[in-house]
């Protein structure tokens, strides 16, 4: 069992950039697998594995003099040389993400298999992209933008870019600042996510103290800065880091702002839709044949638009401020649709 466990440790937890000493391997074997082995046993097993699989490598650049007065190499650091390099895997995964020929469900399955061909370190990097988009983005520059953002997140450095928006001529234009120049954004990047068919960057605008969200396909002229990022944990509400699944469930649309507990009544046939939007971290209660009450913690600004989307089938009850905002919006809509042209 020690032999197999050592093989798994090397394969999953090491690569050329993340090596482990025999001491670290021993500690990992004990902590993760409940097995203890002395230094000689571990070294013997590692040498056997290296003979069995040529991908198992070690650094023997250090030497020492043995008891016989002879110089010998010391296998100080071990790692698994994976068949694909990280850039090669990124190219393969990016090709899947932007392929129009491969069905969505198969794409997810293939990406999962490709991720397993590298170490945990690479998987953590790829998992910055959460939830593959249903549609592929049209902006081919997104490959380069994702590479820059990925490097910035890994190295903890800021990026600058211009942000674009559509005008009525259906063309994209860079946002302007107050002086009518091209507005430059300097941000602290934290995670890349994919939701509602689009890639977004979860980040912090350097001028503010909250999280912001930017569509990656609307970025232009991105540049990696030498400036270190503002630590995520320094932002209010992020002291313990970012729980990505929970954060994504609260931000059904990628909008900044506070999250609150919201209670609403919905027609019963919407239960599946509600589950699709908010996930399982919700509470159903007071269910009847025709309706159900729901409590969910969610971004309030995003929830307003969700309520407007399903307006005739839902009624928000709390918080009162959100209820008033929806009522005011409905009143304005009613006035707009009932006024004679």
Do 303 and 319 belong together in one domain?
A: yes
Flag whether 291 is in a domain: yes
Same domain? For 93 and 231 the reply is yes
Answer yes or no: do 55 and 91 share one domain. Answer: no
**Same-domain status, 162 and 222:** yes
Residue 55 lies inside a defined structural domain of this protein: yes
Average the pLDDT over 83-101 and give the result.
70
Residue 124: pLDDT above 50? no
Of 48, 64, 80, the last residue of a domain is 80
CATH number for the domain harbouring residue 322: 3.30.70
Whether residue 253 lies inside any domain: the answer is no
| Burial tier of 256 (Cβ tally within 10 Å: 0-12, 13-18, 19+) | middle
Neighbours of 115 (CB within 10 A): 17
The pairing of beta strand 172-174 with beta strand 157-166: antiparallel
Judge whether 41 lies within some domain. yes
* Average pLDDT value over all residues in the chain: 80
Residue predicted with more confidence, 202 or 104: 202
For the stretch 45-61, pLDDT in tens is 888 888 887 788 877 65
Cα within 13 Å of Cα(136), Cβ side: 16
How far is 54 from 33, CA to CA, in rounded Å? 24
Number of H-type helices and E-type strands within the chain: 11, 15
Residue 175's nearest CA partner among 192, 159, 161 is: 161
User: Are 299 and 327 part of one and the same domain?
Assistant: yes
Q: Which of 220, 248, 276 is the last residue of a domain?
A: 248
Whether residue 101 sits in one domain with residue 189 = yes
What value, to the nearest 5°, has the Cα angle with vertex 129 and ends 123 and 132?
110
| Residues 287, 302, 127, 230, CA torsion sign | negative
117 and 144 together in one domain: yes
Window from 4-8, 89-93, 222-226 with minimum mean pLDDT: 89-93
Give the whole-angstrom CA distance, residue 98 versus residue 144: 13
For the chain, helix, strand, coil in percent to 5 are 40, 30, 30
Q: Cβ(191)–Cβ(211) under 8 Å?
A: no
**Residues 309 and 208 occupy one common structural domain:** no
Task: Give the closest residue to 57 by CA, choosing from 17, 116, 113, 89.
Answer: 17
Do 207 and 274 share a domain, yes or no? no
| Mean pLDDT within 226-233 | 92
The total of structural domains in the chain comes to 3
In a domain, 43, yes or no: yes
Share of the chain above pLDDT 90, in %: 19
Highest-confidence range of 11-25, 240-254, 309-323, by mean pLDDT? Answer: 309-323
Average pLDDT over residues 314-336: 92
pLDDT digits (tens, 9 = 90+) for 178-215: 888 899 999 999 988 877 667 889 899 888 888 888 88
290 part of a folded domain:
yes
Decide: residue 332, CB within 10 A, 0-12 exposed, 13-18 middle, 19+ buried.
exposed
What is the pTM for the complete model shown?
Answer: 0.50
For the domain that residue 76 is a member of, what is the CATH number? 1.10.10
Residues 24-49 have pLDDT tens digits of 888 888 888 888 888 788 888 888 88
According to the model, what pLDDT value does residue 259 have? 79
Q: Distance between CA 59 and CA 134 in Å, rounded?
A: 44
pLDDT at 207: 85
Q: Identify which has the larger pLDDT, 212 or 135.
A: 212
Q: Is the pLDDT of residue 252 over 60?
A: no
Residue 74 belongs to domain spanning: 2-80
Q: Which is higher by pLDDT, 306 or 116?
A: 306
DSSP code, position 69:
S
Mean pLDDT of all residues in 116-134: 61
pLDDT band with cut points at 50, 70 and 90 for residue 295: very high
CA 291 – CA 99 distance, rounded (Å): 41
Please report whether residue 254 resides in a domain. Answer: no
Does residue 116 surpass a pLDDT of 70? yes
Q: Do both 192 and 272 map to the same domain?
A: no
- 290 in the same domain as 200: no
240 and 195 within one domain: yes
The number of C-alpha atoms within 13 Å of 124 and in the hemisphere containing its C-beta is: 9
Which of 184, 218, 248 is the last residue before a domain boundary? 248
């Amino acid at each position: 069992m020690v032999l197999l466990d050592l093989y798994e440790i090397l394969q999953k937890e090491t690569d050329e950039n993340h090596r482990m000493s025999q001491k670290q391997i021993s500690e990992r074997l004990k902590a993760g697998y409940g097995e203890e082995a002395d230094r000689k046993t571990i070294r013997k097993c590692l040498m056997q594995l290296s003979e069995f699989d040529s991908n198992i490598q070690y650094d023997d650049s250090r030497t020492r003099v043995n008891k016989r007065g002879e110089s010998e190499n010391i296998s100080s650091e071990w790692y698994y040389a994976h068949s694909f390099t990280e850039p090669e895997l990124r190219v393969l995964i990016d090709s899947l993400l932007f392929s129009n020929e491969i069905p969505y469900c198969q794409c997810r399955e293939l990406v999962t298999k490709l991720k397993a061909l590298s170490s945990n370190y690479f998987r953590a990097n790829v998992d910055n992209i959460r939830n593959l988009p249903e549609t592929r983005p049209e902006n081919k520059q997104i490959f380069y933008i994702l590479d820059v953002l990925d490097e910035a997140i890994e190295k903890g450095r800021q990026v600058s870019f211009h942000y674009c928006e559509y005008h009525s001529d259906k063309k994209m234009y860079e946002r302007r600042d107050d002086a009518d120049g091209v507005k430059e954004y300097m941000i602290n990047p934290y995670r890349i996510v994919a939701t509602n068919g689009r890639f977004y960057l979860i980040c912090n605008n350097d001028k503010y103290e909250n999280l912001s969200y930017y569509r990656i396909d609307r970025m232009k002229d991105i540049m990696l800065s030498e400036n270190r990022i503002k630590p995520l944990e320094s932002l209010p509400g992020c002291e313990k880091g970012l729980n990505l699944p929970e954060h994504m469930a609260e931000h059904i649309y990628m909008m900044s702002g506070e999250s609150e507990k919201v209670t609403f009544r919905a027609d019963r046939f919407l239960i599946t839709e509600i589950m699709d939007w908010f996930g399982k971290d919700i509470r159903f209660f007071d269910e009847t044949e025709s309706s159900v009450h729901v409590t969910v913690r969610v971004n309030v600004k995003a929830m307003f638009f969700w309520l407007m989307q399903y307006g005739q089938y839902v009624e928000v009850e709390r918080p009162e401020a959100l209820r008033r905002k929806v009522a005011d919006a409905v009143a304005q809509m009613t006035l707009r649709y009932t006024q004679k042209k």
